[in-house]
Amino acid sequence: MKKILIANPKGGSGKTTLATNLAGYFSTLGGRVVLSDMDRQQSSTQWIERRPADMPLIHSHNPRSKNLDLDSDWLIIDSPAGLREEKLSDAVKLADCVIVPIQPSAFDIGATRDFLDILIEEKAIRKQKTFVALVGMRVNSRTLSAAAHAEFMKQTGFPVLTYLRNAQVYATAAGQGASLFDMRPSLVQQDLQQWAPLLSWVVEATDTD
């Protein structure tokens, strides 16, 4: 089983957007995909509930439930805001890789800077048993905030996988229980190009053979 943790201590950073679209992508490849929703708001779970029956199946898992059947090809963990201390360490040790979404605002950058300092101290990450990378979320490349955002991302020392634009198509997909990979390619061509390096890195980072 290949395990991906999506984490950032700040709410609204784009964790669920990454988690649901990753689940959508890997479900199109076949195999069993489980989306584990650690957030109290249960946004990922609600997304699965909206998902049409004719789309590739994604299994929902609530960590607070007694159902611990996580047998799958892919386990994608949508973590809550404020994931800290023992819970963070346990989640990192479980994961093959951690993806940290970051939006281009001073509040997001400040919260993420402290979080990355904590991640660096995690034993699994220091020993390169778990890999970490960053993704820019809801980025308009023509703004001054985007330039400051990119500079911060570069200075962290972690791989920067891609910058995802701020597009209505994400909200449309979320409302339909769909991912970009379930939609007509002509509608999401630019977005799929932005996702390509992220997906390549995840496959490489979770390759334990």
Q: Is residue 63 classed exposed, middle or buried when 0-12, 13-18 and 19+ CB atoms within 10 A define those classes?
A: middle
- Separation between Cα atoms, residue 197 and residue 66, nearest integer Å: 36
The CATH-assigned architecture of domain 2-205 is: 3-Layer(aba) Sandwich (3.40)
CB 116 within 8 A of CB 101: no
Task: State the Rg of the chain over Cα.
Answer: 16
Work out whether the CA dihedral 64, 65, 67, 72 comes out positive or negative: negative
pLDDT in 10s for each residue of the chain, 209 residues: 999 999 998 999 999 999 999 999 999 999 899 999 998 899 999 999 999 999 999 999 877 665 555 678 999 999 998 887 888 898 999 899 999 999 999 999 999 999 999 999 999 999 999 999 999 999 998 888 999 999 999 999 999 999 999 999 999 999 999 999 999 999 999 999 999 999 999 999 998 66
Hey, which residues does 162 pair with through a beta bridge?
135
| 85 DSSP 8-state letter | H
Q: What separation, in Å, do the N-terminal and C-terminal C-alpha atoms of the chain show?
A: 12
Length of the chain measured in residues: 209
pLDDT value, residue 65:
60
- Separation between Cα atoms, residue 58 and residue 73, nearest integer Å: 11
pLDDT value, residue 71:
78
- Separation between Cα atoms, residue 37 and residue 15, nearest integer Å: 11
